[in-house]
């Protein structure tokens, strides 16, 4: 892993450790409410997940300064599943059965979420999952606060095919080899076919987690784009493989005006470890960017800078989704007057938050948030210039209509 990334992860941990409040309010008698944190702090996904650990710790500290929840102190229980998918399930069981956590915030990859799902359903635990994903799931034990495909992937491809996005006629689907990229690209291929894009004009390649040798694949993309049709890249590459991927785009002179690349898993945190000069103009599709203007985001960014004791650390979309999910959970517990999973579940439906993205987001009975769609262009400073956003938050379609077996399915 890039040494700068490793150093930032270490500093993040130090920042969390140093951010303990000096004075704690008086709390009601009784055991603390335990908040599990299930994020990779080592391995290929640490580049993305460490900041989410810090976000949960920030929210716990902030809520304790307000007197906790129902007068009870919150206590964070942090584990490191180390980018090891079977270990996620073991650590989830530890949080629920041993530490007796009332709620867990965690996972990034879909393979980690699917690893822990049977554990949460068996033990009736409650997981808040904060990252965009492929859909095709709905569990009574999970609240999904990241984007479904209709809130990210499909609008991004629509943008690439439109006038503002360059009117792409060929699409290279590049992804990490696991369930999220493969299912998302299955949906995107069906969508592209429905818009008249033939399979011959769709390139699809997968690489393992941590992949570092991108020369051959990027060369194949250049050849694919050199056959006479405007081409764009759709990236579902996850984790630290993004660093050498973007470096190779720069090495081979792939500029945004020639072959734009839109990413679904690259935000401000990942760009902090990359020389962004060759990437200016490439795109990312999210539901939040740090560059969003408005009072809710200003407050969120100040909260983060104060907690981490640095104005250099960035915010990003999964951090915002963690923040939003945590605040909704607090509201639901206070409404239910209980931390019991069944009571909190019912109280979550219809919860509303004016999120840092500047939109009011609502939790649906399908356990998914309504969210806006935003597309941003990479700027030289590693931030994003927002070039497109929807006028309103969009309800999630967790069962994609572009998958035939979902024809009669409803969320």
The tens digit of pLDDT for each residue in 183-202 reads 999 999 999 999 999 999 99
Flag whether pLDDT at 95 surpasses 70. yes
Flag whether pLDDT at 177 surpasses 70. yes
Which of the four CATH numbers 3.40.50.720, 3.20.20.70, 3.40.50.2300, 2.40.37.10 does domain 150-291+374-406 have?
A: 3.40.50.2300
Rounded to an integer, the average pLDDT of 141-162 is 97
Residue ranges of domains in the chain: 3-146+293-362, 150-291+374-406
- What is the share, in percent, of the chain residues with pLDDT greater than 70? 93
Provide the pLDDT for residue 2.
44
Which residues, in sequence order, are CB contacts of 371 under 8 Å at separation 6+? Answer: 147, 151, 287, 357, 359, 361, 393, 394, 396
Sign of CA dihedral 245, 261, 258, 187: positive
Q: What is the 3-state secondary structure (H, E, C) of 51-110?
A: HHHHHHHHHHHHHHHCCCECCECEEEEEECCCCCHHHHHHHHHHHHHHCCCCEEEECCCH
d(CA 259, CA 150): 23
Flag whether pLDDT at 19 surpasses 60. no
- What is the share, in percent, of the chain residues with pLDDT greater than 90? 88
- The band of 7, judged by pLDDT with boundaries at 50, 70 and 90, is very low
Provide the pLDDT for residue 386.
98
**Across the chain, what does the average pLDDT equal?**
93
d(CA 185, CA 179): 10
- Residue-wise pLDDT for 21-73, tens only, equals 444 566 767 799 999 999 999 999 999 999 999 999 999 999 999 999 999 99
- Residue-wise pLDDT for 358-383, tens only, equals 999 999 999 999 999 999 999 999 99
d(CA 96, CA 351): 25
Which residues, in sequence order, are CB contacts of 110 under 8 Å at separation 6+? Answer: 133, 134, 178, 179, 180, 183
Q: What is the 3-state secondary structure (H, E, C) of the chain?
A: CCHHHHHHHHHHHHHHHHCCCCCCCCCCCCCCEEEEEECCCCCCCHHHHHHHHHHHHHHHHHHHHCCCECCECEEEEEECCCCCHHHHHHHHHHHHHHCCCCEEEECCCHHHHHHHHHHHHHHCCCEEECCCCCCCCCCCCEEECCCCHHHCHHHHHHHHHCCCCCCCCEEEEEEECCHHHHHHHHHHHHHHHHCCCCHHHEEEEEECCCCCCCHHHHHHHHHHHCCCCCEEEEEECCHHHHHHHHHHHHHCCCCCCCCCEEECCCCHHHHCCCCCHHHCCCEEEECCCCCCCCHHHHHHHHHHHHHHCCCCCCCCHHHHHHHHHHHHHHHHHHHHCCCCHHHHHHHHCCCEEECCCCCEEEECCCCEECECCEEEEECCCCCEEEEEECCCCECCCCCCCCCHHHCCCCC
Please check whether the two domains, 3-146+293-362 and 150-291+374-406, share a CATH topology.
Answer: yes
Sheet with 261-263, strands from edge to edge, namely 202-207, 170-176, 231-236, 261-263, 283-286, 374-378, 384-389
Provide the pLDDT for residue 21.
46
Q: Are 81 and 112 in contact (CB under 8 A)?
A: yes
Provide the pLDDT for residue 411.
57
Provide the pLDDT for residue 25.
62
- The band of 304, judged by pLDDT with boundaries at 50, 70 and 90, is very high
Sheet with 74-79, strands from edge to edge, namely 74-79, 33-38, 103-106, 127-129, 142-144
What would the CATH number be for the domain defined by 3-146+293-362? 3.40.50.2300
């Amino acid at each position: 892993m890039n040494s700068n990334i490793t150093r930032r992860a270490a500093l993040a941990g130090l920042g969390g450790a140093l951010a303990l409040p000096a004075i704690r309010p008086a709390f009601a008698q009784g055991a603390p409410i335990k908040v599990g944190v299930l994020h990779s702090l080592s391995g290929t996904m640490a580049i993305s997940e460490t900041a989410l650990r810090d976000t949960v710790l920030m929210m716990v500290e902030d809520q304790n300064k307000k007197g906790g929840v129902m007068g009870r102190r919150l206590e964070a229980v942090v584990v490191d599943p180390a980018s090891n998918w079977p270990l996620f399930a073991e650590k989830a069981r530890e949080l629920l059965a041993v530490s007796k956590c009332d709620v867990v915030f965690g996972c990034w990859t879909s393979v980690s979420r699917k690893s822990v799902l049977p554990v949460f359903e068996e033990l009736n635990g409650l997981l808040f999952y904060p990252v965009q994903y492929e859909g095709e799931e709905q569990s009574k034990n999970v609240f999904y606060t990241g984007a479904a495909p209709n809130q990210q992937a499909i609008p991004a491809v629509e943008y690439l095919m439109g006038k503002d996005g360059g009117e792409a006629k060929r699409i290279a689907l590049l992804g990490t080899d696991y369930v999220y990229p493969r299912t998302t690209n299955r949906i995107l291929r069906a969508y592209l076919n429905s818009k008249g894009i033939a399979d011959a004009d769709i390139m699809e390649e997968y690489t393992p987690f941590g992949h570092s040798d991108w020369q051959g694949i990027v060369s194949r993309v250049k050849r694919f784009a050199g056959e006479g049709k405007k081409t764009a890249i759709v990236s579902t590459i996850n984790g630290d493989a993004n660093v050498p991927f973007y470096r190779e785009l720069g090495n081979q002179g792939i500029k945004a005006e020639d072959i734009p690349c839109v990413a679904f898993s690259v935000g401000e945190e990942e760009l902090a470890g990359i020389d962004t000069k060759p990437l200016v103009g490439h795109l990312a599709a999210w539901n939040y960017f740090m560059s969003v203007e408005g009072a809710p985001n200003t407050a969120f960014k100040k909260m983060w800078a104060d907690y981490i004791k640095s104005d250099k650390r960035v915010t990003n979309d999964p951090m915002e989704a963690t923040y939003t999910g945590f605040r909704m959970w607090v509201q639901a517990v206070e409404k239910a007057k209980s931390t019991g999973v069944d009571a909190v579940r019912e109280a979550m439906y219809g919860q509303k938050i004016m999120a840092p993205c500047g939109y009011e987001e609502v939790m649906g009975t399908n356990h998914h948030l309504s969210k806006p769609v935003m597309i941003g262009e990479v700027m030289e400073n590693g931030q994003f210039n927002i070039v497109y956003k929807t006028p309103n938050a969009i309800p999630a379609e967790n069962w994609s209509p572009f998958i035939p077996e979902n024809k009669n399915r409803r969320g």
